[in-house]
């Protein structure tokens, strides 16, 4: 029985590895093929055309779009973290029935599709003169990405003994100092997990920048890939090279810190 479980476990792991590695192989292979020929995703290139990457950076204006993506990422991550940690802490100390009711509305954000309020958000940003701005896109991403961080923070705060806060109050801590000097440093595992999740969602977001950033100069990296699509053809080699450059930073980052992400998720969602 144990042997059968091991075989099935290894089989599932092998299948998962194939599902993950095959797209990466195709991505890397096509990005190094001769741009004068059609792409062949299952054939290794006869010679490596590293010039595809240089052309992708130049034609695709990747440096400009990289700056735009980083601006949106920093804004979204900062706003979402601040709002989520404060909301989680407030729900932890609120009246139970009120906190549960409010928390239920936040959890609906995990159920409803992200594009459900697109028309209303578009009209609201236009009225506030925030359409086609990075701060406007960051607000939309924050509104759509707060549910999971709030859930993680709330579950984590419920594991923190109230005696710690009571002792700090007795020692003369004000409410602000109590939160930032005593409580918030305890959230480092959950905060690091939330940072990665929020940053990944912002970095890979395609739909929201496409809708709320119509100007070509304001595009982020995912929407910037559309520059490789011509009216009658697509420059596949440069497109795949650009996709490699976009995916590489967070792919490598995730490989090295995945255990910390899982640790933070378990610490914020299982205890208590």
Token reading at 90: 């407030």
Residue 244 — left, alpha, or beta (φ > 0 → left; ψ -120 to 50 → alpha)? alpha
Neighbours of 69 (CB within 10 A): 24
Token reading at 227: 């520059």
Q: Where are the domains of the chain?
A: 3-52, 62-218
Q: For residue 260, what pLDDT is reported? A: 65
Q: For residue 266, what pLDDT is reported? A: 63
- What is the per-residue pLDDT across 203-244, written as a single tens digit (0 to 9) for each? 989 999 999 998 989 999 999 888 777 545 677 888 888 888
Contact (Cβ atoms closer than 8 angstroms) between residue 225 and residue 60: yes
Residue stretches of the chain with pLDDT short of 70 = 1, 230-233, 257-272
Q: For residue 175, what pLDDT is reported? A: 80
Q: For residue 229, what are the β-bridge partners? A: 234
pTM (global) more than 0.85: no
CB burial of 199-208 (b: ≥16 within 10 Å; e: otherwise) equals: bebbbebeeb
Q: For residue 247, what pLDDT is reported? A: 84
φ, ψ for residue 158 (rounded to 5)?
-70, -15
- What is the per-residue pLDDT across 38-64, written as a single tens digit (0 to 9) for each? 777 777 777 888 888 888 888 888 999
Element (H, E) at 167: helix 162-170
CATH architecture, range 62-218: Orthogonal Bundle (1.10)
Q: For residue 192, what pLDDT is reported? A: 85
Token reading at 23: 């797209």
Across 71-137, the runs of DSSP E, i.e. the strands, are none
């Amino acid at each position: 029985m144990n042997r059968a479980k091991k075989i099935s476990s290894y089989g599932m792991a092998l299948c998962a590895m194939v599902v993950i590695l095959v797209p990466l192989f195709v991505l890397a292979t096509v990005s190094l093929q001769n741009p004068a020929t059609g792409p062949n995703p299952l054939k290794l290139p006869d010679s490596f055309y590293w010039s595809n990457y240089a052309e992708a950076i130049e034609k695709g204006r990747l440096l400009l779009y990289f700056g735009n993506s980083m601006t949106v990422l920093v804004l979204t991550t900062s706003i979402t973290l601040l709002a989520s940690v404060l909301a989680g802490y407030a729900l932890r100390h609120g009246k139970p029935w009120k906190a549960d009711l409010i928390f239920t509305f936040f959890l609906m954000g995990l159920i409803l599709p992200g594009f459900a309020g697109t028309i209303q958000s578009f009209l609201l940003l236009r009225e506030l003169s925030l359409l086609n701005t990075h701060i406007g896109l960051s607000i939309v991403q924050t509104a759509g990405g707060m549910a999971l961080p709030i859930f993680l923070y709330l579950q984590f705060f419920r594991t923190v003994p109230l005696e710690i806060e009571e002792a700090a109050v007795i020692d003369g801590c004000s409410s602000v100092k109590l939160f930032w000097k005593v409580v918030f440093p305890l959230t480092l595992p959950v905060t690091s997990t939330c940072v990665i999740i929020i940053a990944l969602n912002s970095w890979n977001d395609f739909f929201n920048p496409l809708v709320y950033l119509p100007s070509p100069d304001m595009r982020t990296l995912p929407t910037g890939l559309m520059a490789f699509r011509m009216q009658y053809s697509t420059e596949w080699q440069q497109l795949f090279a650009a996709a490699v450059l976009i995916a590489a930073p967070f792919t490598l980052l995730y490989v090295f810190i995945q255990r910390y992400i899982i640790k933070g998720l378990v610490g914020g969602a299982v205890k208590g």
